[in-house]
Amino acid sequence: MESVASAIQRLSDLAESPHIARLAAAFAAQGFELALVGGPVRDAFLDRPLNDLDFTTNARPDEILRVVKPISDTHWDIGRAFGTIGALIDGHTVEITTYRSDAYDGETRKPVVDFGDSLEGDLVRRDFTVNAMALRLPQKQLVDPSGGLEDLVARRLTTPGTPEHSFGDDPLRMLRAARFTSQLGFALDEQTRSALFALADRISIISVERINDEISKLLCSPSPREGLQLLVDSGLAAIVLPELPALRLEIDEHHHHKDVYEHSLTVLDQAIELETERNPGEAPDLILRLAALLHDIGKPATKRTEAGGVVTFHHHDVVGSKLAKKRLRELRYDNETIADVSRLIELHLRFFGYTEGAWTDSAVRRYVRDAGPLLERLHILTRADVTTRNRRKADRLSFAYDDLEERIVTLGLEEELAAIRPDLDGEQIMEILSLPPGREVGEAYRFLLELRLEEGPLGVDLAAERLRAWWESR
C-alpha cells in the first residue's frame, strides 16, 4: 500500500493533468464545487492504476452542462435524470454527477433520485468506506467522512452507515462486497459479514443484468476464490449461481470421490495461473474462467455409487454442458459466451482417453477440429483439471499433455489443422454425384471430412474415387 504522502502526490499529479485542471477551473469560476470521487481515490492508496475517473459537484445537471459546454469537444446528457453529464475534454472522457442523497423504496434497487447539497452527504451514501473518499478540486484536499483511509490501512471492508441499512437499500452491494474481497484482497468486518449473511435473500430483487456484471467482474479479478467462497457461505450463490453450492457433495468416510466444490475452485485457481503464464499481458479470459468454475456442475446429477462403494459420475461432461448453457442463458450472457463455455465443458474430459492408449493422427486431428478456436482454452482447462496430490500421477498427465501439444504442433506444420477442409468442396460433390443442393450433399461433405481426418490429404482424383464408392455403397 502506498504511503499517505505518496498517494496524495499521485492524486495531485492526476489533478494537474491539463483536462482535469481545465475542468476544475471552469467549475470554480462559476462558483461550484468539484471533487474526484470513489475508486480512483481509493486506488491511489493501493498503488493501482487510476482509471474510470468520476467527478461529483453541487451543480445541478443544467448547471453542469452550462459549465462544460464551452470547454468540451462534445457532451451528452443520457444520464441527466440521475444527475450525470458526460463530456469529451481535450480527447478525455469525463462524467460529472450532482451530489446525491437518494432514498430507496425497499422493494426494488431503483432509488428515488434526490440531489444533495454537500460532498460529505454524497459520500456517506456510498457502498463502502474505502469508496467514500474524495479529493476536492482545485484545492487538492482529501475528504474522508467515514474513516475510509483507516479501513484501507486495515484492509477492511465496511459500510459508511450500518451494513443492514446499506444492504437493505441496495442489495447489489452484497455482490460488490464479494467482488472487492477478491479484487482488493480485503476482508469484511464482522458486522458487515453478519448483515450480508442475514440479508442474502434480498439479492432476488436485483436485475439479472446487474448480477451478471458483478459475477463477471468477480471472476475477472486476480484471485476470485475468496469472493466465490463468500457467495457460497452467505447463501448468495444459492440464489444467483445455485450450481456452485450444489458441488458441495457429501464425502463418505472412505473418500471415494474428491471434494468437487474445492476441486472446482482449485481448477479455477490453476486455470488463471496458466492463463497468465501462457498469455501474459492479455485481459482476463472470462470464458475460460466460467468454464473452469462450472466444468463439473454435471456431477451432482450424475453421481452413482457402484459395487464396492466406488462413486462414478458418468457423462457429467455432457450433462454439465447443458446445465451451464441453461444457467448462463438465465444470467443473460451473450450467445457466443454461452456456446463457448458449454463447448469447453463438453470437451474437458476428452484428453483423458489419450493417457489410456496411443491416439492415431486422425484422433489428434479430430481433437483439434472439435475444439476449433477454443483449442488454447481447452489446453489450459484440461491441464488445470489435474488437482491430484499424487505427484507421480500429476507428472504423468502433464507429460502426456505435453506430448499431445507437441503432436498438434507437428501435424499443424504439415497441414493447417485449424482450417482442415475435405479434398472436394460442395460444388465438386454435386458435379461428381449429379446432385442438387440439399441434405445429401451435406452428408457427402461430412464423409469426406472424416476421410480427411482419418487419412490426411488424398488429392482430388482419389477423393472423387472414394466418394463414388461410398455413394454406391449407401
**CB–CB of 274/377 below 8 Å?**
no
What pLDDT was estimated at residue 244? 97
Tell me the backbone φ, ψ of residue 190, rounded to 5 degrees: -65, -40
Please give the tally of structural domains in the chain. 4
Question: Residue 115 carries which DSSP code?
Answer: B
Residue 116 lies in a domain: yes
Helix ranges restricted to H, 246-303: 260-278, 286-294, 299-302
pLDDT at 102: 62
Confidence of residue 133 (pLDDT cuts 50, 70, 90): very high
Regarding whether 193 and 67 lie in a shared domain, the answer is: no
Write the pLDDT tens digit of every residue in 376-396.
Answer: 999 999 999 998 888 888 888
* Closest C-alpha to 291, from 278, 302, 275, 315: 275
Q: What is the DSSP letter of 334?
A: -
Contacts 24+ apart (CB under 8 A), 367-371: 367/404, 367/408, 368/408, 368/411, 368/412, 368/417, 368/418, 369/417, 369/420, 369/453, 371/347
pLDDT band at 31 (very low <50, low <70, confident <90, very high): very high
- Considering the domain architecture, whether residues 431 and 410 belong to the same structural domain is answered as no
* Residues 235-290: tens digit of each pLDDT: 999 999 999 999 997 654 445 456 899 999 999 999 999 999 999 989 999 999 99
Q: Are 286 and 409 members of one domain? A: yes
Do 202 and 270 fall into the same domain? no
Q: What is the pLDDT of residue 2?
A: 61
Q: What is the pLDDT of residue 116?
A: 87
Q: Same structural domain for residues 411 and 271?
A: yes
247 within some domain: no
Region 44-66: what's the mean pLDDT?
90
- How far apart CA 427 and CA 230 sit, in angstroms, is 58
Q: Is residue 34 domain-shared with residue 159, that is, in the same domain? A: no
For residues 264 and 190, membership in a common domain is answered with: no
Instruction: Give the residue from 107, 123, 153 where a domain finishes.
Output: 153
pLDDT at 474 over 60: yes
Average pLDDT over residues 77-98: 90
State which residues form the domain around 466. 426-473
Do 319 and 400 share a structural domain?
yes
Q: Which of 10-24, 57-71, 394-408: highest mean pLDDT?
A: 57-71
Tell me if 249 is assigned to some domain.
no
**DSSP at 73:** S
Determine the pLDDT at residue 413: 44
- C-alpha R_g of the chain: 28
Domain end marker among 199, 215, 241:
241
Distance CA 386, CA 400 (A): 12
Instruction: Identify the CATH number of the domain in which residue 393 sits.
Output: 1.10.3210
* Dist. CA 413–CA 460, nearest whole Å: 21
